[in-house]
Structure 1
Amino acid sequence: MEHQLILASGSPRRKELLEKVSIPFTVVVSDVEEKVDPALSPSDIVMSLAEQKAAAVAERFRDSVVLGSDTVVVYGGEILGKPADEEDAKTTLAKLSGKTHQVLTGVAILHQEKKIVFYEQTDVTFWPLTDDDIEEYVLSGEPMDKAGSYGIQGLGSLFVKEIRGDYFSVVGLPLSRTARELKKAGYIR
Structure 2
Amino acid sequence: MNKPADFKGTNQTEVILASASSARQQLLENAGVRLAKLLPAALDEEAVKEALKQEGATALQVAETLAELKARKVSLSNPGCFVIGADQMLECNGIWFDKPVDRDHAAAHLKALAGKTHQLQCSVCVVKDGQRLWHHNETASLTLRALDPDFITRYLDAAGEEILQSVGAYQLEGLGAQLFQRIQGDYFTILGLPLLPLLTFLRHNEVLA
TM-score by length of 1: 0.91
Distance 1:133 1:119 in 2: 34
Deviation at 1:127, TM superposition (A): 1.7
Select which of 9, 12, 16 maps to 2:22: 12
- Gaps spanning 5+ residues in structure 2: where? 1-9
Distance 1:111 1:156, change over 3 A: same
- Alignment partner, residue 76 of structure 1: 93
Contact 1:105 1:173 in 2 (8 A): yes
1:141 partner SS: helix
Select which of 77, 101, 107 maps to 2:118: 101
Distance 1:21 1:97 in 2: 33
Q: Which amino acid aligns with 1:76?
A: N
Aligned-pair RMSD on alpha carbons? 1.8
- Alignment partner, residue 157 of structure 1: 177
Distance 1:42 1:11 in 2: 20
Deviates more, 1:43-52 or 1:20-29: 20-29
Contact 2:16 2:39 in 1 (8 A): no
Moved runs in structure 1, 4+ residues, more than 4 A? Answer: none
1:148 partner SS: coil
1:92 partner SS: helix
Deviation at 1:187, TM superposition (A): 4.3
1:101 partner SS: strand
- Gaps spanning 5+ residues in structure 1: where? none
Distance 1:26 1:172 in 2: 20
Deviations 1:33-53, CA, capped at 9 Å, x for gaps: 222221311001001111111
Deviations 1:122-174, CA, capped at 9 Å, x for gaps: 11111211111111223333422320221212221211222111111111111
2:119 partner SS: strand
Contact 2:122 2:139 in 1 (8 A): yes
Deviates more, 1:13-22 or 1:27-36: 27-36
Distance 1:88 1:23 in 2: 34
Distance 2:192 2:150 in 1: 27
Q: Which amino acid aligns with 1:59?
A: L
- Alignment partner, residue 144 of structure 2: 126
Distance 1:26 1:98, change over 3 A: same
Deviations 1:21-77, CA, capped at 9 Å, x for gaps: 112222232232222221311001001111111111101111010101112211112
Counterparts of residues 24-63 of structure 1 (less than 5 Å): 24-33=34-43, 34=45, 35-36=48-49, 37-38=52-53, 39-63=56-80
Deviations 1:74-95, CA, capped at 9 Å, x for gaps: 1112211111333322221012
1:147 partner SS: coil
Q: Which amino acid aligns with 2:26?
A: E
- Alignment partner, residue 22 of structure 1: 32
- Alignment partner, residue 200 of structure 2: 180
